[in-house]
Structure formats: C-alpha cells, structure tokens
Amino acid sequence: MTEENEDFLDEELLDSHDIGADIDEESKGLYEHLNITVDSKQEPLRVDKFLTNFRQNSSRNKISQTCRAGNVVVNGIAVKQNYRVKPGDQISLLLAHPPRENHIIPQNIPINIVYEDDDVVVVDKDPGMVVHPGFGNWDKTLVNALAYHFEKNGNKTDLDRVGLVHRIDKDTSGLLVIAKNEHALSFLAKQFFERKTKRLYWAFVWGNVKEDTGTITGHIGRHPKNRMQMHTYTDGSQGKHAVTHYSVLERFRYMTWVECKLETGRTHQIRAHFKHIGHTLFNDARYEGSTALRGVNMPKYKQFINNVFEILPRHALHAHTLGFIHPTTKEEMYFESPMPEDMANAVKKWRNYLEN
C-alpha cells in the first residue's frame, strides 16, 4: 500500500510543509488529504474499517462521518462506509481534524456569537484575538472562549476539541464558522477544501487603486529575505498559485476601500497581492504599511495619518461575509458582519479630511 500525504489550510494559511515556526499559530493544518493505493494482497474489507485500521489515531465514528460527508472517494467515486475495498483501489480521503497539540483550557472571554445550533457556531471575531493557541499565544484565544461557552451551556458534542474549519489572522476581524460535531466538521471541511463557501473581505489599501475592478494573479510563497512576509512570484518560480479579485467601494484620494474575493486561499494572500501591485494594506506593520505611503509631504498630513493609525491600530482587513451549506438541513446559510468600529471611524476621519 502506498500513501501520499498533504496538509491543506484555508485563506491566509499555508500547509505545514511550506512554512516555518516563525509564523506562530498559522503553521498547523486543519485538513489532511490522503491518497492511498490498496495493496494487491488486501482482502475485501469495509472501507470504514480499512481506514480506521490505516489511521489508528482516528476513531471509527470519525471515519464514518467522513464517509457520510462524501469525503472518501474510491476510484473517482464518493463511497459510503459499507463499501468494500479491493486490491488496487485508489482511495482519496479528506480528513478534518481539530488541532490537538495542547490541552484547551476553557476561559471566560466575551465573544460575539451571531448564530448557533446543534451543528455549527458562527462567530464575529474582534481584531486582536488569536483564533487558536499556538507559539506565543497559548491562551485567551477564540478556541479557549468557545470551550468555555460550550461548557457553560452544557453543549454535548462528539468532538474532544473545538472544531475549526478555517482561521483568520489575529488582527483580521470578521466571520468564522466552527463545527460542533464530527459530521459538521467533515461536511464543512469539504466545502472549504473545494472552495464552495461564499466569502468577501473588506480592506483599506494605500493609494488610489486605478481600476474599479481587477484581478491579481501570482504565486505566493515565503519572501526571499523576510521570512515574516509572503511574496508574490508572478513567474510562478516559487510558492503556490493564487488569485484575488477585487472591486473598489470608495476612494479617499490617498487610500482606497476595496472588496476582495479569493479564488484561492494562501497565507496572507490579500496582504501580499496588494503589496505586489503597490497598494499595501493600511497600517499593516508586517508589510511596511504603518507609515504614510501615499499623500503630500506636509506636517499636517503626517499628523492626520498618525491620528488615523491611533483610531485603527492594526491592518485594515475584515472578513465581511460568510456563506455555506448547513451540514444537516442542507440549507444555504449567509451572514454579513458590519464594518468594525475602528475601520468605520477611520472612514469617517478620511471623509472629513477630504471635505475640509
């Protein structure tokens, strides 16, 4: 039997093979993709039992839920758990797994839950909150807050960890969906893996973006000199294929409010792509966007920019919408998050500056 193993992550994340520990909590995978060729001497065996034997750290229930979600494909066809494997079968398995590298301590931290039922929780995350414990941020994360919320409300789930299916950066605000059981985790993992969810981001970028709509295409990989940054390689020599579509929502002469739709999901995709075209995210310190990159060389203007930085003390990126198919009802769920207060106040400041 042969196996190929690859970790997949959502937007602003790379797989664990491509990124070092210096990216902190973004270094771990949320999905595991296995390609297995069944040995020529294999006796007929139910695929759920076969995979449970093969993946001894995965429970039979987890494998069964993965089958029910359509995440087990044999010879190009999704199969149920009672399918019997045969010699030479080509098995593709998409396995969602909550990170398990440390014990999750429930912590009473306020979070904005916009929707919850027996299968999913949708959270509107504040900027400054890390999603999952990791290097340098072992507690006070969204996962710690959710663990407390579940415990306080007596939620019974079949997960031993909070079921993340995607993540956003610490300083990015906006919507995330979290699974509460194995079925929901597997079902949602497939949607994110196949990029069938509906998500739009709002960003403020330096400068006056020339076109009202556009597409940025270029492989994204680690920066050749600064390992804390990602870099756009238009020749495809390094990194992974990435596509960002954008449209301009409002212009502020020296800053532009854009809406972004990601065709792919790479580490810091929006941040790296807009830096590549000369429009770094506003106040994005990691990508040199925390100084006045556009505008006049006047003390009053520089003071104005510093005042806006104080109002918006983080990179200006917000996960505005989230749409997905519910794992049980199969209904389309759609959520919108209003512009957070810090970004809204920055808009008011810019509008007032231009009017005066």
Q: Encoding tokens for residue 140?
A: 């006070």
- Going by DSSP bridges, is the β-strand pair 173-179/317-325 parallel, antiparallel, or unpaired? parallel
Rounded Cα gap, residues 222 and 230, in angstroms: 4
Residue pair 322/198 in contact by the 8 Å Cβ criterion: yes
User: Is residue 124 annotated as a catalytic residue, yes or no?
Assistant: no
Query: What are the helix (H) ranges across the chain?
Result: 47-54, 60-68, 142-152, 182-193, 269-276, 299-311, 341-355
Annotated catalytic residue: which of 169, 171, 284, 342? 169
Q: Encoding tokens for residue 71?
A: 């995440």
Category of 188 on φ-ψ map: left (φ > 0), alpha (ψ -120 to 50) or beta: alpha
Q: How far is CA 147 from CA 111, 160, 163, in A?
A: 12, 10, 10
Q: How far is CA 203 from CA 112, 127, 144, in A?
A: 21, 13, 28
Q: Encoding tokens for residue 167?
A: 């993540």
* Helices 60-68 and 182-193: angle between axes, nearest 10 degrees: 50
* Helices 341-355 and 299-311: angle between axes, nearest 10 degrees: 160
Active site residues: 169
